[in-house]
Amino acid sequence: MARLDRHQYLMHIGYDGSRFFGVVPQRHGPTVASALRARLELATDQRAGALNFTARTDRGVWAEQNFATCWFLPPFDPVAFELEVERPRDDGLFNVKAERTGFHTHARNVGAGKWYRYRVRTDGAVDDRCWAVSRPLDMASIVALASAFVGTHDFRAYRFKCGAPDTRKTLSRVEVQPFEGGFDVHIEGDGFLRQMVRKLVSVMVLVGLGEYELDRAIHLLESAADKGTPKAAPPEGLTLMAIRRAQT
């Protein structure tokens, strides 16, 4: 039976994806979970209970905002804990904030949607947070495909090794924003399949390069095809920008 005197927290975190092998614990390298657990335990001298994350980003993917929930047992000093856990450290985490929350708050239920940004550079500039594409792109075709992705669709062709039973997702925004030297793709939706954003961007770029047909990409979407999309875009160009909080 759960103890009613425990201290429940919603942790806000950002992280440098280049330093981690994804979020969840792995045998072969550091993860966001291991870095956050170490920070929590340095601040409390006790193991965080039930550490869970809202978004499970892959290896190399950055985040400006993700959430995690955990709890601690008495004796516990909330003020001292919050000051210590939010202190900047060289551990790959940033924008760390500890928010005291309700007893039943769980990381998997606090998010009602996510906003991702994917960066593509076309000018050859050195940027370790982008997909560098050196050939000219047909931006009109890329924008047309971006518009086709908006709405509710079955995105089963736009996933990789994903066992999610519900492959219908609603995207409220797929927007291409040019900047000098490249462009960003902003994608917002109520849910995402594994590698879905990177698959969407990969097809958009290949359509822009003339290596993949626009009509074929749209057909895969409209027909709910189980496969047919090319390899996902590289992870380093992807950043989880924010998670929209569920109404409580």
Q: Which residue is listed with tokens 């209970």?
A: 49
* pLDDT tens column, 174-229: 999 999 999 999 999 999 999 999 999 999 999 999 999 999 999 999 998 889 99
Helices (H) and strands (E) in the chain, counts: 5, 10
How far is C-alpha 176 from the geometric centre of its chain's CA atoms? 18
- For helices 139-149 and 214-222, the axis angle rounded to 10 degrees is 0
Residue 1 has pLDDT above 90, yes or no: no
3-state secondary structure of 71: strand
CATH 3.40.50.720 assigned to domain 7-109? The reply is: no
Take residue 76 and report the two structure tokens written for it: 């516990």
Residue 163 has pLDDT above 90, yes or no: no
pLDDT at 91: 98
Worst-scoring range by mean pLDDT, 98-102, 159-163, 208-212? 159-163
CATH architecture group of domain 113-245:
2-Layer Sandwich (3.30)
Annotate 173-196 with DSSP letters as a single string: EEEEEEETTEEEEEEEES---TTH
Domains 7-109 and 113-245 fall in the same CATH topology: yes
pLDDT-derived band at 73, boundaries 50, 70, 90: very high
pLDDT at 10: 98
pLDDT at 5: 87
Task: Provide long-range contacts, Cβ within 8 A and 24+ apart, for 42-50.
Answer: 42/84, 43/80, 43/81, 43/84, 43/85, 44/72, 44/76, 44/81, 44/85, 46/72, 46/73, 46/76, 48/72, 49/6, 49/73
Residue 92 has pLDDT above 90, yes or no: yes
Q: For residues 101 and 2, what is the distance between their CA atoms, to the nearest angstrom?
A: 16
The closest alpha carbon to 138, from 219, 206, 186, 197, belongs to 206
pLDDT at 111: 94
3-state secondary structure of 55: coil
Q: For residues 13 and 88, what is the distance between their CA atoms, to the nearest angstrom?
A: 12
Domain range annotation of the chain: 7-109, 113-245
Q: Which residue is listed with tokens 């736009």?
A: 158
pLDDT-derived band at 248, boundaries 50, 70, 90: low
Q: What is the mean pLDDT of the chain?
A: 95
In this prediction the pTM is: 0.96
pLDDT-derived band at 2, boundaries 50, 70, 90: low
Phi first, then psi, for residue 202 (nearest 5°) are: -60, -45
Q: Which residue is listed with tokens 């202190």?
A: 87
